[in-house]
Amino acid sequence: MSCKKFKIFLSAYIDQEITKDEQEKLLEHLKTCSACTRELKYLKQMKRIFLLKEKKEPQEFFETRLFARIRSKRERLAWRAYLPVFKKSILAVLIFFLLVVGLLNYRNFLYQRPAEIISDLLIDTEIEENFEEELLEIYYGPLG
């Protein structure tokens, strides 16, 4: 097995994420390989450096600022909660308006159509005028 493979094992070894079989092979290899022994020393130092790294604090009033943002977001969300209801109301008004307009037109259609038909049939002014002229000719003889 190559040293590179053992170096990958070493990285997992210091994290205690190595199988028992891999660990046995690695420890056997370390007995004879000075390069890998040096690598192990480096990895241990690296771990130590990170362990010494102090945790940093967030900036002042982190929670106060966060909760203020949450409150403002909640207010916005609360307003948004009414948005679907508002949209539905607008839609309902629009549908109602269209229905009313439609009904009125339909009513006009129902009541006006027969009148139009009758007027079309009976009130033809040209026929009526001709008829009147014919009657006058019968009574008074040919006109003009």
Partner 1 sequence: MEEDFELLAKFRKGDQHAFELLVRKYKMTVFNTIYSIIGNAQEADDIAQEVFLRVYTKAGSFKGKSSFSTWLYRITVNKCLDELKKRNNRIISYETEFNEEEKLKLKDVLASREKDSTQELIRKELQDIIQKAMNSLPEKYRIILTLKEIEGLSYNEISQVMKISVGKVKIWLFRARQKLKEKLAFLYPQGE
Read off φ and ψ for residue 30, nearest 5 degrees. -65, -25
The residue among 14, 12, 17, 24 whose CA lies nearest residue 44 is 14
Nearer residue to partner 1 within complex by CB, 47 or 113 = 47
Binding part of the chain for partner 1, among 35-43, 81-89, 104-112, 130-138 by CB under 8 A, reads: 35-43
- Cα 111 to Cα 90: distance, rounded to the nearest angstrom: 32
CB of 28 to partner 1, least distance (A): 20
> According to CB under 8 A, which residues from 84 to 143 bind partner 1?
none
DSSP 33-97: -HHHHHHHHHHHHHHHHHHHPPPPPPPTTHHHHHHHHHHHHHHHHHHHHHHHHHHHHHHHHHHHH
CB of 96 to partner 1, least distance (A): 35
Over the window 38 to 77, marking each residue x when it contacts partner 1 by CB under 8 A and - when it does not, the resulting string is x---xx-xxxxxx-xxxxxxxx--xx-xxx-xx--x----
- Cα 22 to Cα 6: distance, rounded to the nearest angstrom: 9
CB of 37 to partner 1, least distance (A): 12
CB of 87 to partner 1, least distance (A): 21
CB of 74 to partner 1, least distance (A): 9
Nearer residue to partner 1 within complex by CB, 41 or 87 = 41
Q: CB neighbours of 53 closer than 8 A, spacing ≥ 6?
A: none
* List of residues contacting partner 1 (CB under 8 A): 7-8, 11-12, 15, 17, 38, 42-43, 45-50, 52-59, 62-63, 65-67, 69-70, 73
